[in-house]
Amino acid sequence: IERRFSELPFSKRKDIARLVVNNMVGYGLLDFLLDDEQLEEIMVIGTGKPIYVIHSNYGSCITNLKFETDEDAIRIVEKIAASVGRRIDKSSPLLDARLPDGSRVNATVPPISIDGPTITIRKFKADPLTVVNLIDYRTLSIEVSAYLWMIVEGLGIKPGNILTAGGAGSGKTTTLNVLGSFIPTTERVITIEDTAELTLPIEHVVRFETKPPNVEGVGEITMDDLVKNTLRMRPDRIIVGEVRGAEARTLFTAMNTGHDGCMGTLHSNSAKETIIRLTNPPMNVPKIMLPALNLILMQNKIYSEDSKILRRITEVAEVVTEDEEGSISLNYVYIYEPKDDRLVLTGQPSILKQKLSKLRGITVKELEEDLKGREKILRWMTENNIVKIEDVSKIINRYYADSKTLLEEVEIHTLNR
């Protein structure tokens, strides 16, 4: 390269050298994009076409990179497939896989992709976002975060069953991971995903991933298979990355047989639609099982006036049983106010707060004091930029061990600022 391109600036020669190395041992052009921490998704839409990316601030962007030939793109796709012990070719032209760094990959090759190979990569964050990040980004408020913290923990008596609903790219999995970080580290957690994305700060966690059928069409392990298997493993918590099929009924069976604190995500446009989707094909959850669900969070991807992507929790709805036959309604505790860009109280009293206070043997006023303490800790972490998941988890679990001492320390630090 030094000899052949001696007329080029050093920075250009360095880029060429890197591209050569990437083609030999990496993912070619894609490595430049995989190294950019501001990118969330990478999309190759065919041969000779520019590669698109989703930027964390600016949304969909067009790059000046492209694969010139099918062979160039297929070589990268085959390298990805080989790294996970799979193959992709004309007889098996679809691939769902996970890169060594945890990023999710979907790839297709001709004949099903007419314009050449396609690659879609959802990048994995090495440092997962925490509740402090979501407060900073205004996805959640401190008040709502404290409420969710309390529901997930359940005051040590009855953890809540929660579904986070939303559209593609709305941040559901990130929010699910944040909810999971509220789980006490003393509990046994089992996660089930199509492609492993959750990174919980818990030692006793068992992670399962579905398995597609082989070329002969056998050997598939579905989400439902894994949820059923999980019920035999004495879990304290079951977390399903995305609920969309027969596993929904199995998960609700678990909720109805004493497995509290189940969580998952679901594609939906509103809390109300979430209920409709659960009770219709392909999920087919019997209506009599629905009261086991305690809370639905609705999350949306919206755009600011300057076209930046904003992710917001827009509905916090408690699931309320209306009668003995299992009829339910939704109690909206918080809703998103676009004008002020914040979650606001609806004025409806929280049924879950009332239930928890009764189960714990305390008054609602005492429970509100507990919430204020959690808010104080969250505010202190936010003001002191405590964002690492290990640090946030350590403080949350210190609260479980000795909330009084932790609150006293937070008070002292706050006064000394």
Tell me the average pLDDT across 25-47. Answer: 89
Tell me the average pLDDT across 45-54. Answer: 96
Query: Do the strands 118-122 and 39-44 form a parallel or antiparallel pair, or are they unpaired?
Result: antiparallel
Task: Tell me: pLDDT of 56 over 90.
Answer: no
Q: For the CA atoms of the chain, what is the radius of gyration?
A: 24
How far are the Cα atoms of 12, 54, 127, 207, 327 from residue 121, in angstroms, in the given order? 27, 10, 18, 21, 42
Reported confidence tier of residue 157, pLDDT bands at 50, 70, 90? very high
pLDDT value, residue 101? 84
What is the location of CATH 3.40.50.300 in the chain?
131-415
| Superfamily of domain covering 131-415 | P-loop containing nucleotide triphosphate hydrolases (3.40.50.300)
pLDDT value, residue 21? 58
| Average per-residue pLDDT for the chain | 92
The class of domain 10-122 in CATH terms is: alpha beta
Better-scored residue on pLDDT, 216 or 168: 168
Task: Tell me: pLDDT of 220 over 80.
Answer: yes
Reported confidence tier of residue 400, pLDDT bands at 50, 70, 90? very high
Task: Tell me: pLDDT of 395 over 70.
Answer: yes
Tell me the average pLDDT across 228-249. Answer: 97
Reported confidence tier of residue 1, pLDDT bands at 50, 70, 90? low
pLDDT value, residue 22? 58
Tell me the average pLDDT across 19-48. Answer: 84
Q: How far apart are the first and last CA of the chain?
A: 56
Task: Tell me: pLDDT of 401 over 90.
Answer: yes
d(CA 95, CA 231): 29
Tell me the average pLDDT across 148-167. Answer: 98
What is the location of CATH 3.30.450.380 in the chain?
10-122
Tell me the average pLDDT across 335-339. Answer: 96
Is 406 in a helix, a strand, or coil? helix
pLDDT value, residue 167? 95
Chain mean position to CA 254: 21
Backbone dihedral angles phi then psi of residue 166, each to the nearest 5 degrees: 165, 180
CB 82 within 8 A of CB 70: no
d(CA 203, CA 193): 18
Task: Tell me: pLDDT of 102 over 90.
Answer: no
Cα angle 34-215-113, degrees, rounded to a multiple of 5: 50
pLDDT value, residue 326? 64
Task: Tell me: pLDDT of 187 over 60.
Answer: yes
Task: Tell me: pLDDT of 417 over 60.
Answer: no
Residues 356/360/362/363 CA torsion (nearest 10 deg): 10
Tell me the average pLDDT across 80-84. Answer: 85
CB 398 within 8 A of CB 380: no
pLDDT in tens, 318-330: 999 877 666 889 9
Tell me the average pLDDT across 90-117. Answer: 91
Token pair in block for residue 66: 């492209």
Give CB contacts under 8 A, 24+ apart, made by 383-389. Answer: 383/417, 384/413, 385/132, 386/132, 387/130, 387/132, 387/133, 387/136, 388/127, 388/130, 389/127, 389/128, 389/130, 389/181, 389/199, 389/201
Token pair in block for residue 87: 């193959």
pLDDT in tens, 359-382: 999 999 999 999 999 999 999 999
